[in-house]
Chains A and B, each alone.
Chain A
Amino acid sequence: MRRKTKAKLKKGLSVVYCSLIYLFLFLPIFVIAANSFNATTTKPYLTWKGFSLMWYGKLFDNTTLLQSFGNTMAIAFASTAISVIIGTLAAVGMYKYKFKGKSVIDALLYIPVVIPEIVLGISLLTLFSNVNIPRGMITLILAHATFSIPFVVFNIRARLSGYDNSIEEASMDLGASRISTFFNITLPVLAPGIFGGGVLAFTLSIDDVIISYFTNGQTKTFPLKVMESIKSGVSPDINALSVLILLGTMAVVFITQSGILNKKDRRN
């Protein structure tokens, strides 16, 4: 009997503990969401003036804000595409072929993962200003692809460790060319890794503050727009857009991941 109450107590405590951690993680999001319904119109938009959906309407009149969100999405898609293509080729190539200097490539790949982002940001800034690439959309895409490529490579490499080379040999023995083997055999097998790496690259890109801050020029991404507005008080239309982005991402991820998550669950 005592043992049972003790176990119950233990379970209760762990539920309370985990709930507190989740509260910690979600608290600022509740604050942001609550303030998106704030009817206030005076800076710094912190006093509660009653419930209103007005900022969700105003959001669609704020063209510079919408433009910044458009930039963020365009940069995320472009840099994800680049990093997925280069990263997939690199991961497969480094797995299949033996050549000198592999450890050097590996070391270079680890740099963006471990080094503080600000160092990568300023080093790209010095590069872009030195070779006279005007800072803007292009430099942002190049910079985002640079920090995303390693994550794509590592994600795919994790799937490659159990990869059976003989199916490629079989394909070529049966007369398929290297290229058609790559597209018909290698890519489908690696698809989950490529997809996971792509999702990671995309999320890293839309949330990036530090590297964008140094490489953006006049082009504003959504995070940079937030940064700019923090000095004068973030207006609730930015909160409204954040809430919509969060809901949008949740919808997309739950739809695409639900299948994958279920499979993972069963394996465990």
Chain B
Amino acid sequence: MTKHNFRSNTLPSVIMVGPVVLWLVFFIAIPLLYVAVMSFCSIDESYNIVFRFTTVNYKRLCDINYVQIYGQSILIAVLTTIVCILLAYPFSFLIARTTSKSKAFLYMLVIIPFWTNSLIRIYGWRTFLGTSGWLNMLLMKIGLVDSPVNMLFKRGTTVLGMVYCLFPYMVLPLYTAIEKLDKSLLEASSDLGAKGPQTFFRVILPLTSSGIFSGSIMVFIPTLGYFFVSDILGGGNSDVIGNLIERQFQSGNNWPLGAALSIILIVITLLLVKLYQKCGGDMESLGV
């Protein structure tokens, strides 16, 4: 249009968008690039980073002990995602389709537990499942077992903790997708003679698959990094990639190796997000 229009919009747009651009560049783009650069560096005897190009960290990533943990990590993430879908789908369906007035309240009840710090809730699980915990007390009282069963520090307990932490991230997108579902389509399907399962697999599931996709992304990716869950519930027997990274940045003190391990997580994230977009996933439904 006119020059005047252009000039009058430049200053306000710089004032409004400038701060966020500076913030994102300084606190996200530069640090991530720096991590990428660091992954090609090494350390000297006193743990200082030596900025000379080397692929030594990437060679170490192929160490069989590490590869086993990537495998275990992905297994835990897959199991967590599947359990979350199986538990959350019927639940979200029932909550979203309820006609009662307490719908908003039922929804809020999913969020309330998350106002308590997640670490202490995971510790609560450890207390509950421990040898002197409530569950063992109950099992002994009803005579199912004679002595306390050790339920902690197994891969399954870590999956339980992950499911627990990430469950609402599955419920939220599913709830939104199911709520949007047009009731008349279900009626049409049954009017045309479809049975319950048929309606579910051919109408309901395809129409709510977007919720399953975004929920899966939001559950699968964080699982790979939640080192504190496997620390508290897995006791070192079910480490995820996050544990490997954490060790290099804390006790191990080999930041370049930790940086290379982080690159694995970045690559997995990028691949999954690309796949998600290919399946028609909408980035906006990952936001809130």
Contact = CB atoms under 8 A, between A and B. Distances in A.
Interface of A: 14, 17-18, 21-22, 24-29, 31-32, 35, 46-47, 85-87, 89-90, 92-94, 96-97, 99, 105-106, 108-120, 122-127, 130, 142-143, 145-146, 149-151, 153-155, 157-158, 178, 200, 203, 206-207, 209-210, 213-214, 222-223, 226-227, 230, 234, 238-239, 242, 245-246, 249-250, 253, 257, 261, 264-265, 268
Contacts of A239: 120
A118 B9 contact: no
B152 interface: no
Q: Would you call the interface of chain A mostly helix, strand, loop, or mixed?
A: helix
B16 A89 contact: yes
Contact of B288 (A146, A149, A154, A178): A154
A129 B21 CA distance: 22
Nearest to B128: A31
A261 B24 contact: no
B17 A28 contact: no
B35 A200 contact: no
Contact of A119 (B24, B133, B265): B265
B132 interface: yes
Contact of A108 (B29, B90, B110): B29
A98 to B, nearest CB: 8
Interface string B21-60: 1011101111110110010000000000000000000000
A28 B282 CA distance: 34
Interface string B123-155: 111011010111000000000000000000000
B202 interface: no
26 contacts: A26-B113, A27-B124, A28-B121, A31-B124, A32-B116, A89-B16, A105-B21, A110-B273, A118-B225, A118-B262, A119-B265, A120-B28, A126-B34, A143-B27, A145-B23, A146-B28, A158-B288, A207-B117, A207-B118, A210-B227, A230-B119, A245-B115, A245-B116, A250-B115, A253-B115, A265-B101
A119 B134 CA distance: 36
Contacts of B123: 28, 32, 226, 230, 234
B20 A153 contact: yes
A203 B34 contact: no
Contacts of B101: 265
B284 interface: yes
Interface string B90-127: 11001100000101111011101111111111111101
A134 B255 CA distance: 18
A122 B217 contact: no
Contact of B120 (A108, A110, A226): A226
Contacts, number: 247
Interface of B: 9, 12-13, 15-17, 19-21, 23-25, 27-32, 34-35, 38, 87, 90-91, 94-95, 101, 103-106, 108-110, 112-125, 127-128, 130, 132-134, 164, 167, 217, 221-222, 224-228, 232, 242, 245-246, 249, 255, 258-259, 262, 265-266, 269, 273, 283-284, 286-288
Contacts of B91: 17-18, 21
Nearest to B179: A268
A181 B259 CA distance: 47
Contact of A29 (B32, B113, B227, B228): B113
Contacts of B103: 265, 268
B134 A17 contact: no
Across the A-B interface, the 9 shortest Cβ-Cβ residue pairs: A93-B16, A28-B124, A116-B225, A154-B287, A90-B20, A123-B31, A97-B13, A118-B225, A93-B17
A32 B16 contact: no
B61 to A, nearest CB: 15
Given A111-B28, A223-B119, A25 B286 contact: no
Contacts of B17: 89-90, 93-94, 97, 99, 105
Nearest to A178: B12
Given A18-B94, A31-B127, A118 B31 contact: no
